Amino acid sequence: MSACLLDTNILLYLADPASGNHAATKAAVSRLLAAGDRLVVSAQVLFEFWSVATRPIGVNGLGWSAARAQAEVETIRSRFPVLAERPAVVDLWLAIVVAHDLKGKRIHDAHLLATMQANGVTRLLTNNSADFPPEVGISILTPDD
């Protein structure tokens, strides 16, 4: 059974039935689970989820209360294991950002990749495949795959 990290946007689309991406995302997660894949999240994904979920709708958020966001984060944590933030993550992250000359917001995606590498996770389900450098040994999946 192989592991696959769920990116923040995947969790947001799963949690928001009104989203145009909800059905495709739900189907992709269902396919992975049916195939016996172990789906995981990271602490960073949960932090980003909270940020978007509680951000006002007018600035690209879901406009949820903290209580609703907390309930959803607890649901996510009960369904998907949270990867450990191992000491090696910092060294792996630094190697990725230096090797790919990443700056600004792209360093957060490098952190996800480093967390995956430190935990032996080789696949990522995301709607933003272009955000990740292709040469880091991670298979990038999208709901359309």
pTM of the model: 0.93
pLDDT single digits (tens) 24-61 = 999 999 999 999 999 999 999 999 999 999 999 999 99
The confidence score (pLDDT) of residue 138 equals 86
Q: What is the mean pLDDT of the chain?
A: 93
Q: Which residues of the chain have pLDDT under 50?
A: none
End-to-end CA distance of the chain: 19
Q: pLDDT value at position 112?
A: 94
Predicted pLDDT at 36:
94
pLDDT of residue 136: 75
At 1 the pLDDT is 67
